[in-house]
């Protein structure tokens, strides 16, 4: 999410999907992290628009207030009066109007031109209550295509909707993060631990899945990294000593002499020294073997 969108491509989108009560804390965590990156200048996006349906704007202001630069954030208040019961002018049922308001707010933040901003939608559930799936999908799709949007993410409670509705939103996202409680026991609401599964759809078409444990504490939320390693019977990871030993191994084509001319034995004894040479350039010193980066990535066919 931090890296944002490439020119001419759809912005990355994240669905945080859950059926447990602590999803809001995860959402708050993501939003604080993203906002910190924005403030620190580490992300492509220069501003954040929060569309808040289920929490009051002041909740987000308090959450993100630690950065003194509140000029980088704008909150679209869809919480206080979404249906115009208090004040006839406001109404968020129309997705097109919502789209315009979001874009307007964003442009107000970062100006026009090439500068991008990010969007956080407090609850896709509320949007789906007020408008049909097709309109919501259209809104999200349009937002992703807008060339000033860096990234966008939303929260969805999967137990409130039919499976197909959840599926629609998942198709629209490049990243889907789902939360599961630790055990579907009687006291569901007491769950303080859970599993956090993330599925990334990368640009080159590959899918990466990762999983972490989540612990909710009074102080905040903790992700315990279990890495990508599947649970099998043999050890797939390297210990520290193994890592050092491995770094010490000199690969066959890599000794550039040691004083002696390089002799490559190719089965024929009549080799005259000096007439052959193998030049081997390592791609990258810190490239882990079996990394999921496709070596054919840079092919331009």
Is 86 a binder of another protein (CB under 8 A)? yes
Instruction: Assess 93 for contact with another protein (CB under 8 A).
Output: no
82 makes contact with another protein (CB under 8 A): yes
Q: Which of 39, 82, 37, 87 is nearest to 57 (CA)?
A: 82
CA distance 140 to 149: 11
58, 134, 145, 183: which one binds another protein (CB under 8 A): 58
**Binding of another protein at residue 218 (CB under 8 A)?**
yes
Q: Which is nearer to another protein, 10 or 221 (CB)?
A: 221
Starting at the earlier edge strand, list the strands of the sheet with 221-225: 73-77, 48-52, 117-121, 149-157, 13-18, 175-181, 193-201, 207-216, 221-225
Tell me: does residue 129 bind another protein (CB under 8 A).
Answer: yes
Q: Does residue number 35 form part of the binding site for another protein (CB under 8 A)? A: no
Contact call for residue 157 and another protein (CB under 8 A): yes
Comparing CB distances to another protein, the nearer of 81 and 213 is: 81
Report if residue 263 touches another protein, rule: CB under 8 A. Answer: no
- Contact region with another protein (CB under 8 A), list: 6-14, 154-162, 237-245, 251-259: 154-162
CB 33 within 8 A of CB 101: no
* Binding piece for another protein, criterion CB under 8 A, among 83-91, 97-105, 139-147, 175-183: 83-91
- Applying CB under 8 A, what is the total number of residues that bind another protein? 21
Give the nearest distance from C-beta 132 to another protein in angstroms.
Answer: 13
| Cα four-point dihedral sign 157, 162, 167, 168 | negative
CA angle centred on 254, ends 252 and 258, rounded to 5°? 100
CA distances for 41 relative to 34, 64, 116, 131, 209, angstroms: 11, 16, 12, 36, 28
Residue carrying the six token digits 């612990």: 215
Residues at the interface with another protein (CB under 8 A): 21, 56, 58, 79-83, 85-86, 129, 157, 159-160, 162, 187, 189-190, 192, 216, 218
């Amino acid at each position: 999410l931090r890296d944002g969108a490439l020119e001419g491509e759809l912005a990355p989108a994240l669905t945080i999907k859950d059926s447990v009560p602590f999803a809001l804390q995860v959402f708050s965590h993501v939003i604080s992290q993203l906002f910190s990156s924005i403030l620190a200048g580490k992300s492509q996006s220069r501003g954040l628009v929060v569309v808040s349906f289920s929490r009051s704007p002041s909740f987000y202001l308090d959450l993100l207030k630690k950065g003194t630069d509140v000029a980088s954030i704008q909150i679209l208040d869809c919480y206080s009066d979404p249906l115009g019961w208090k004040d006839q002018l406001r109404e968020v049922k129309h997705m097109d109007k919502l789209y315009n308001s979001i874009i307007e707010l964003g442009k107000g933040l970062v100006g026009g031109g090439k500068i991008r901003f990010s969007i956080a939608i407090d609850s896709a559930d509320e949007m789906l209550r007020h408008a049909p799936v097709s309109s919501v999908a259209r809104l999200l799709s349009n937002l992703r295509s807008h060339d000033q949007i860096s990234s966008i993410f939303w929260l969805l409670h999967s137990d409130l909707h039919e499976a197909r509705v959840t599926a629609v939103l998942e198709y629209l996202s490049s990243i889907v993060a789902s939360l599961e409680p630790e055990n579907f026991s009687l006291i569901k609401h007491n769950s303080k631990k859970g599993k956090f599964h993330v599925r990334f759809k990368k640009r080159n078409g590959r899918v990466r899945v990762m999983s972490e444990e989540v612990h909710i504490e009074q102080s905040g939320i903790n992700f315990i990294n279990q890495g990508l390693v599947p649970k099998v019977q043999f050890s797939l990871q390297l210990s520290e000593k193994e890592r050092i030993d491995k770094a010490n191994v000199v690969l066959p084509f890599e000794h550039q002499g040691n004083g002696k001319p390089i002799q490559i034995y190719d089965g024929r004894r009549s080799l005259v020294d000096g007439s052959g040479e193998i030049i081997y350039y390592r791609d990258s010193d810190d490239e882990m073997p079996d990394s999921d980066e496709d070596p054919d990535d840079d092919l331009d066919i």
